[in-house]
């Protein structure tokens, strides 16, 4: 269904966004392996997280609502019918993390998803989990996928791609099988899984590798800083690692807040988001906004349930261009669509590289961004692994195409606030995947 979008006269206000998707997925799925209930406060009511909730129920978890929280009570034992099929909907996180759990247990079931999820690659988790001893049956590394779990072998794994989902799948497999696992990262990814394991259980060690001084071979009088290992972080589980249960209070989702911070950036006005997650692996968008000319203020910072949070205020300014590549792209991967929109209103040309991963998300996000930029009249160039966006002009309203992708719909709904004339977006309901209240919050900031 098409949604009418109109320009905003003014932007501003103080808002709260729904709970963090990444944390909610993990809370629901870890309950499968817990020894006592997990209470979750601020569990978001979006389609993706509901997929993880239903997946947990499929494996015997009982879910009850008590006032402002959900209580996940784990099963006494894992014994689903081998004919069980778990439908993960549109949620790649659910499919990949659940695969790790099933791989490390002696059960057998099938995982599937909607048409979009069936097109996304699963080989990146199949390879390490197979090496650990699990069995997978599927075509071309895609869903539907039948998994036969086993008692797994101890495993040391260097991530070949920067992926928190792959890391989490391996860690959850080790946890489920009570085997020793070490995962090493050259590019540091989101660490919600290991932080939650530490908060709810025991036996999780996180080792951060920092440079050390060594003798300079070219000048014995000098020393230089050198990494003692070829990776930056290692997460280690022992055979004694357990999840005992407890309470998770989920902060607001930074990836959702990014769209509203972008509105502040483009407009030059101020937006405040309260109780927002400030995990250092998730705040790269705030750093980016500062780099291109915005003012960012963080207040009331506290740590609850192992995750930092606080109040963030963003005030826009005169926006400049800034190249994004390498580890910066990894840190900003979910925000690239809205960054491309911001770039259209910044001076100069913004170049985004090393973003080929976007071609295998809910849509081909590089192609989707390019198409919608074209519709509003933005000059751009598609690159093999990214996009270049020329900004600094006035653009007209357009009929945007979401491709059924929530982040594309939200990004260009934000763009519509600053265009000359009215716009539309098709299949606007796809925002329910991550933020069903997106358009309600959008109305709040349009003053």
Catalytic residue annotation: 334
Helix (H/G/I), strand (E/B), else coil: 382: strand
Q: In whole angstroms, what is the distance from residue 357 CA to residue 340 CA?
A: 16
Tokens of 188: 């540091």
Task: List, in order, residues 6 or more apart from 246 with CB less than 8 Å away.
Answer: 38, 39, 199, 200
DSSP 3-state of 192: helix
- Which residue intervals of 251-335 are DSSP H helices? 254-267, 284-291, 326-331
Of the candidates 67, 20, 16, the residue with the CA atom closest to the CA atom of residue 39: 67
* H-assigned helices in 66-163: 92-103, 115-118, 123-132
312 in Cβ contact with 298 (< 8 Å) = yes
CA distance linking residue 439 with residue 218, whole number of Å? 61
Q: How far apart are CA 309 and CA 54, in angstroms?
A: 28
Find out whether the peptide bond into 144 is cis, omega within 30 degrees of 0. yes
- Helix or strand holding residue 188 (H, E): none
- Residue 284 tokens read as 């790269």
CA distances for 20 relative to 47, 218, 257, 276, angstroms? 13, 49, 10, 9
Question: What is the β-pairing status of strands 246-249 and 38-41?
Answer: parallel
């Amino acid at each position: 269904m098409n949604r009418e979008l109109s320009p905003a006269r003014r932007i501003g206000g103080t808002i709260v966004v729904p709970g963090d998707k990444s944390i909610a997925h993990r809370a629901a799925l870890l309950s499968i392996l817990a020894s006592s209930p997990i209470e979750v406060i601020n569990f978001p009511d979006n389609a993706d997280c509901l997929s993880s909730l239903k997946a947990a129920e499929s494996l015997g978890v009982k879910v009850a609502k008590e006032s402002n929280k959900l209580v996940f009570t784990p099963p006494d034992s894992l014994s689903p019918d081998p004919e069980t099929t778990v439908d993960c909907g549109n949620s790649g996180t659910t499919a990949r993390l659940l695969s790790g759990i099933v791989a490390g247990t002696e059960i057998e079931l099938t995982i599937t998803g909607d048409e979009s999820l069936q097109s996304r690659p699963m080989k990146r988790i199949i390879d390490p989990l197979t090496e650990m001893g699990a069995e997978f049956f599927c075509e071309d590394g895609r869903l539907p996928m039948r998994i036969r779990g086993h008692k797994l072998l101890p495993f040391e794994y260097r991530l070949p791609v920067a992926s928190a989902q792959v890391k989490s799948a391996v860690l959850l497999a080790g946890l489920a099988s009570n085997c020793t696992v070490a995962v090493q990262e050259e590019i540091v990814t989101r660490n919600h899984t290991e932080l939650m394991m530490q908060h709810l259980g025991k036996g999780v060690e996180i080792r951060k590798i920092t440079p050390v001084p060594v003798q300079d071979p070219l000048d014995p009088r000098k020393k230089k800083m050198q990494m003692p290992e070829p990776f930056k972080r290692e997460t280690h589980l022992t055979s004694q690692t357990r999840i005992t249960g407890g309470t998770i209070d989920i902060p607001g989702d930074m990836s959702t807040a990014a769209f509203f911070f972008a509105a502040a950036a483009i407009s030059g006005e101020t937006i405040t988001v309260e109780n927002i997650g400030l995990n250092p692996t998730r705040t790269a968008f705030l750093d980016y906004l500062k780099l291109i000319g915005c003012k960012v203020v963080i207040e009331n910072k506290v740590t609850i349930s192992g995750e930092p949070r606080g109040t963030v205020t963003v005030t826009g300014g005169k926006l400049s261009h800034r190249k994004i590549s390498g580890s910066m792209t990894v840190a900003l991967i979910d925000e690239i669509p809205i960054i491309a929109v911001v770039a259209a209103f910044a001076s100069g040309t913004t170049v985004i590289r090393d973003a080929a991963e976007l071609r295998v998300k809910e849509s081909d996000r590089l192609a989707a961004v390019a198409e919608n930029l074209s519709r509003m009249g933005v000059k751009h160039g598609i690159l093999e692994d990214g996009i270049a966006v020329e900004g600094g002009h006035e653009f007209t309203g357009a009929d945007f195409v979401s491709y059924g992708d929530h982040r594309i719909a939200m990004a260009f709904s934000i763009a519509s606030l600053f265009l000359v004339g009215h716009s539309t977006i098709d299949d606007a309901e796809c925002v329910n995947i991550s933020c069903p209240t997106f358009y309600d919050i959008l109305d709040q900031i349009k003053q």
